[in-house]
Amino acid sequence: MTTLALEVKANPGGFGAEVTGVDLSRPLPPPVLDAVKAAFARHAVLWFPDQPLTHDQLEAFTLQWGEYGWDPYVAPLADRPHILEVRRDASETTTVFGGFWHSDWSFQATPPAITILHAKVIPPVGGDTLYADGCRAWEALSPAFQAMIAPLRAVHSAGRPYGSAGFYAKEAGRTGMKILPSAEAEKTYVHPLVRIHPATGRKALFVNPVYTLSVDGFSEAESAALLGFLFKHMTEDRFVFRHAWAANMLTMWDNRCCMHNATGGYDGHTRILHRTTVAGDAPRAAADAA
């Protein structure tokens, strides 16, 4: 396999790209892997159609990007501690897992750099994933506003969805996945509100409506006002694209610079995807790079 076969077709604006001409069932040769990593750095979301993979092959591909991330509060496959089955059975009426704007596990001290999702069973309707570009959202802010928020830090926690009194602890009827609510989820971690991407050097807004509780040092009302503005800004249509799935498609995205949101619209159909994460570093404040 050579880089000559590799084709990267980017969305308008460059956020998100389709990659063809590679076979993910086998280890990518170093030149090809380097080219795919360069494409990932440029586009933040990559999808690879027509990639049937076994568990072993999915794990091997994941490890080409780094060590596994830590995935708490959701039970993995019984014999694969690093693979989560994101499943919604046809009979379920519960909310769609991940159906709110978020960045995966931003509540951790070192949130995962990358999430990888491999489609197994895809319904004939619905189930698209929305992605929002935190870099372009940052760049679209006025210089004065950028200067004001660049030094700020935000408080993150998994408590609202996964705490002992969180959303998932109160729901009933979920059969496809086993959620593991815990008091441990109520711990808080403080991260830069604007982080610098370790690979590209670009700045990105690093807050999300699910896991970001407040702005450190701000009152509740002040936090709500600032975060409410940022959440609305980050999810404007100009920063978002809608991704449609197909069976055997592998999609990966960069949690360091984008949010995502799983949509529904497939009630009465089963949907199954397998997920891994790649470990990341502690977010570095953009203000430190100024």
> One-letter amino acid identity for 253?
W
Partner residues linked to 215 by β-bridges: 154
Torsion of CA 198, 258, 272, 47, to 10 degrees: -70
Q: How many CB atoms lie within 10 A of CB 219?
A: 10
Spot the catalytic one: 153, 195, 243, 260: 260
Spot the catalytic one: 71, 104, 133, 254: 104
Asked about 274 being catalytic, the answer comes back as: no
What lies within 8 Å, CB to CB, of 72 at 6+ separation is: 105, 158, 162, 180, 182, 184, 185
Spot the catalytic one: 82, 87, 88, 102: 102
Evaluate whether 150 touches 287 at the Cβ level (below 8 Å): yes
3-class DSSP state of 249? coil
Order of strands across the sheet with 114-121?
A: 7-10, 17-20, 45-48, 250-254, 114-121, 271-278, 84-88
Asked about 275 being catalytic, the answer comes back as: yes
Asked about 242 being catalytic, the answer comes back as: no
Distance CA 135, CA 95 (A): 29
Asked about 191 being catalytic, the answer comes back as: no
First and final C-alpha spacing in the chain: 41
- Phi then psi dihedrals of residue 146, to 5 deg: -55, -45
Q: How many CB atoms lie within 10 A of CB 288?
A: 11
Nearest to 36 by CA among 68, 1, 71, 12: 1
Evaluate whether 266 touches 91 at the Cβ level (below 8 Å): no
> One-letter amino acid identity for 50?
D
The set of catalytic residues is 102, 104, 260, 275
